[in-house]
Amino acid sequence: MADICITGLCKAYDGKPVLRDFSAVLPAGRVTGLMAPSGAGKTTLLRILMGLEQPDAGSVTGLEGRRMSAVFQEDRLCDNLDAVANIRLVTPGLARAKTLDALDAVGLGSCAGQPARELSGGMRRRVALLRALLAEYDVLFLDEPFKGLDRDTRTRVIADTRTRCAGRTVLLVTHDAGELDAMGVTQRLTLEMI
């Protein structure tokens, strides 16, 4: 598996620069952390890496033919589907028992049959995270995946996430340096406000 090489990325909206000449290497099989203030371009960078937006300049190599999974800042769940069905939307072949075990591991075992609209924000966050983690992927993008979780739940979910994505290429965006430590991040990137 190849490293992901980001070279000279630039992006502006309505003439206002968001990314300017950003370069980095995301090592294959490792978790890289990205910290920056709100509005510094973190989500824009992720959207470019996922192919949801095109940069104005620069290039990205190492993602060709790679399967990607992501947790966005919004949960993007189907409100009328229960937790199991939301997870299995992207993994229809995943055994129900494995899905239930994963939900139990993050403290949602008793909520498996509840429609997403009835789940709290923290519960929805965990379902969205499991959906990304249980998908078949080579590269995982996590945009503030642990927001809205209380301390004890966050500790439990981070431990589960770290185990599930071990040996995979991951880019974790967060405002919390403690989350980077808990995830075992050794490479930390920053974006500055332009």
* pLDDT category of residue 192 using cuts at 50, 70 and 90: confident
* pTM for the full predicted model: 0.94
The residue type at 51 = G
Q: List, for residues 109-166, the tens digit of each pLDDT value.
A: 999 999 999 999 999 999 999 999 999 999 999 999 999 999 999 999 999 999 999 9
pLDDT digits (tens, 9 = 90+) for 81-125: 999 999 999 998 999 999 999 999 999 999 999 999 999 999 999
